[in-house]
Structure 1
Amino acid sequence: MTQETLRTSRIEARITPDALAIVKRAAELEGRSVSDFVVSSAQEAARRTIEETSLIRLSSEDQRRFVDLLLNPPPISPALVRAKEAHAQLFGSE
């Protein structure tokens, strides 16, 4: 099965003539069709966006604070104790 036969969906986009000229030039430089260039560029941008939103980036100071709080958690607040008791009354304790 060729890659052509795997393509089953279509997208359309309006683009300015100047933007199209840039995309065409870039596709030519890579020796690809405009369609292939646009699809692969969109996929790469989508992957990058998903990766960036899936990661949490912390400064060195924030990393140290995070680990310190995991290793030395603060005492449980009265509000959290009340919330735990309310949860146990509603859903039963485990």
Structure 2
Amino acid sequence: MMMTINSARLEARISKDLHILIKHAAQLEGRSLTDFIITAVQSAAQKTITDTQVLQLSINDQVRFAEALFLPPAHNSAMEKALEQHHHLLEK
């Protein structure tokens, strides 16, 4: 039985200067132009996805977040009223 490989073709028009630059970088790494481009594009795509989907906090923000979780502020009157209404609705 013959196996098929799922693949897609990507084409791009680039300047000669960019082509020379990319080809030179690929040669420096001892890789084919195709392999170099695929690796670079995949890395850039993964970084973009990570940068937009992962929340990164500074040390100060991490501390403030942890304090808010472990030492929440006391309930004010509005919060107490909302909690009472919530409990009342759940009892029905």
TM-score (norm: length of structure 2): 0.68
Using the TM superposition, give the Cα deviation of residue 64 of structure 1 relative to its aligned residue in structure 2, in angstroms: 1.3
| Greater Cα radius of gyration, structure 1 or 2 | 2
The aligned length equals: 84
Q: Give 2:60's aligned residue.
A: 61
Given the superposition, is the C-alpha separation of residues 72 and 61 from structure 1 closer, same or farther in structure 2, using an over 3 Å criterion?
same
CA distance in 1, matches of 2:50, 2:38: 18
Using the TM superposition, give the Cα deviation of residue 77 of structure 1 relative to its aligned residue in structure 2, in angstroms: 6.8
SS of the residue 1:31 aligns to? coil
CA distance in 1, matches of 2:78, 2:70: 21
Using the TM superposition, give the Cα deviation of residue 50 of structure 1 relative to its aligned residue in structure 2, in angstroms: 2.0
Q: Give 1:78's aligned residue.
A: 78
Q: Which amino acid aligns with 1:48?
A: K
CA distance in 2, matches of 1:20, 1:8: 23
Q: Say what the alpha-carbon RMSD is for the aligned residues.
A: 2.9
Q: Give 2:39's aligned residue.
A: 40
TM-score (norm: length of structure 1): 0.67
Aligned sequence identity (%):
40
CA distance in 2, matches of 1:45, 1:67: 32
Q: Which amino acid aligns with 1:73?
A: P
Is the aligned partner of 1:31 residue 2:30? yes
Using the TM superposition, give the Cα deviation of residue 25 of structure 1 relative to its aligned residue in structure 2, in angstroms: 0.7
CA distance in 1, matches of 2:55, 2:63: 14
